[in-house]
Amino acid sequence: MSIERRNFTKFYLVVPLHHISRTASLQLVQMSSSMKKKVLHNRVNRDELKEQLSNSKEARTTLSFYKYYHIKNPSFFRDYLYYEWSDLGVLGRIYVAGEGVNGQMSVPSSNFEAFKKKMAEVLFLNGIRLNVAIEDDGKSFFKLAIKVRNKIVADGLNDDSFDVTDKGTHVNAEQFNTLTDDPNTILIDMRNHYESEVGYFEGAILPEEATFRELLPNAIDNYKDQKNKKVVMYCTGGIRCEKASAYFKHNGFEQVYQLDGGIIEYARQVEEQGLKNKFKGKNFVFDERLGERISNEIVSNCHQCGKPCDSHTNCANDACHLLFIQCEDCRKEHEGCCSNLCNEFIKKPEEEQKELRKTTEFNGTKFGKGRYKAHKGGLLG
Ligand SMILES: [Zn+2]
Ligand SMILES: [Zn+2]
């Protein structure tokens, strides 16, 4: 047996080779030793990376995708993706779990075709839809982080307790418009409060909860007497509705529909097919952009002065980092901070800040609903 063959066999035992094409698996065998040598994590600090990206003139394409699929060896698959994608200059936040993969990222536009080719080498990702961003300045992500998690969405559901494959019917933008024209249809926004605050579909129920984990059981409970009505649900890119719709069906709702590809794909279809746009405002996204404008209406207000505004920001005090809505005037006045407490804090000497950090509570003071830590690492899509 040749060395290559032996390596291949050895590799076959640990690697879920059936996930990827034969060409890719042969490449994998060859790269196995270099994979061990290569550093498969980002090691440059955050500020430096941010600086690099803001100075870069490179055109980048922001996109997201997800796929539920039984991945046998998530850590190996994670390393494989990191190895392949870091060479292509991919930046973003990707979660890999035994149940699948969920990624939000940006790819140098010049490498987009090469990236698609790499995707196709992973058999279960071959041909899947990539949700490409509408508003893109190429500055959506500044590093590549691929993480292994238990689940690809933190939904708080016990998947063994219901049939996750018995999902709601996927509908496209046109079907969504028709269904929601019917006043008897229950339309539910499956996103968190801070997301729907800056943009939503006309007539949608906008839950007040700050997390999906809390939102889902409450939504079931609120509509338990209307199980014979049509229920249509939507989220950013469709992933949250995959299990939420199955959970609704498990709870006795008979006609459950979900918007295929979420708001991102809806906006694309509306534009492409010249359909009526029923989405108002901005689509909140989990990257540096924090939102994509879908319509010109501004549906929310600055949390500080109350004037119409839909620009989210993170508090300039890193110890707080609260995600909130702040207008340009307030940004100047409060120097990007959410409160006087934070503004005073960032002006103190570094040593004093270090000490104060230990005892000071910054968030959620006047913005009770505002413990929006999502941007820092929410498992959403
Ligand atoms: Zn303001
Ligand atoms: Zn703050």
One-character DSSP codes across 35-87:
HHHS--S--S-HHHHHHHHHH----EEEEEEEEE---S-HHHHHHHHHHHHHH
User: What spacing in Å lies between the alpha carbon of 306 and ligand 1's midpoint?
Assistant: 6
Instruction: Identify the CA nearest to 108 among candidates 134, 129, 131, 85.
Output: 85
- With respect to residue 68, please indicate whether it lies within any of the assigned structural domains: yes
Q: Are residue 121 and residue 28 in the same domain, yes or no?
A: yes
Rounded Cα gap, residues 236 and 258, in angstroms: 12
Q: Which residues surround ligand 2, an ion (CB under 5 A)?
A: 315, 317, 320, 322, 338, 342
Q: Are residue 127 and residue 202 in the same domain, yes or no?
A: no
User: What spacing in Å lies between the alpha carbon of 320 and ligand 2's midpoint?
Assistant: 5
User: What spacing in Å lies between the alpha carbon of 307 and ligand 1's midpoint?
Assistant: 6
70, amino acid identity: H
Number of domains in the chain: 3
Q: Report yes or no on whether pTM surpasses 0.85.
A: no
- With respect to residue 155, please indicate whether it lies within any of the assigned structural domains: no
Residue 359: its pLDDT value, please? 83
- With respect to residue 294, please indicate whether it lies within any of the assigned structural domains: no
pLDDT in tens, the chain (381 residues): 343 444 444 444 444 555 666 666 666 666 665 666 667 777 778 788 888 888 888 899 999 999 999 998 899 899 889 989 999 999 999 999 999 999 999 999 999 999 999 999 898 999 999 999 888 888 889 999 999 999 999 888 888 899 999 999 999 999 999 999 999 999 999 999 999 999 999 999 999 888 888 889 899 999 999 999 999 999 999 999 999 999 999 999 999 999 999 999 999 999 999 999 999 999 999 888 889 999 999 999 999 999 999 999 999 998 888 899 999 999 999 999 998 999 999 999 999 998 888 888 886 443 443 444 433 333 333
Cβ(284)–Cβ(195) under 8 Å? yes
Q: Are residue 180 and residue 271 in the same domain, yes or no?
A: yes
- With respect to residue 291, please indicate whether it lies within any of the assigned structural domains: no
Residue 24: its pLDDT value, please? 67
Q: Are residue 193 and residue 327 in the same domain, yes or no?
A: no
Task: Show which of 148, 172, 207 is a domain's final residue.
Answer: 148
- With respect to residue 233, please indicate whether it lies within any of the assigned structural domains: yes
Q: Which residues surround ligand 1, an ion (CB under 5 A)?
A: 302, 304-305, 327, 330
Q: What are phi and psi of 124, to 5 degrees?
A: -80, -5
Q: Are residue 101 and residue 217 in the same domain, yes or no?
A: no
Residue 373: its pLDDT value, please? 41
Q: Are residue 251 and residue 199 in the same domain, yes or no?
A: yes
Q: Are residue 279 and residue 306 in the same domain, yes or no?
A: no
- With respect to residue 192, please indicate whether it lies within any of the assigned structural domains: yes
Q: Are residue 115 and residue 25 in the same domain, yes or no?
A: yes
Residue 214: its pLDDT value, please? 87
Would you say the C-alpha torsion 349, 355, 359, 363 has a positive or negative sign?
Answer: positive
Domain range for 214: 160-283
- With respect to residue 290, please indicate whether it lies within any of the assigned structural domains: no
How many beta carbons lie within 10 A of that of residue 121, not counting itself? 19
Q: Are residue 142 and residue 241 in the same domain, yes or no?
A: no
Residue 138: its pLDDT value, please? 82
Q: Are residue 179 and residue 104 in the same domain, yes or no?
A: no
User: What spacing in Å lies between the alpha carbon of 176 and ligand 1's midpoint?
Assistant: 35
- With respect to residue 51, please indicate whether it lies within any of the assigned structural domains: yes
Residue 123: its pLDDT value, please? 87
* CATH number of the domain that residue 126 is part of: 3.30.70.100
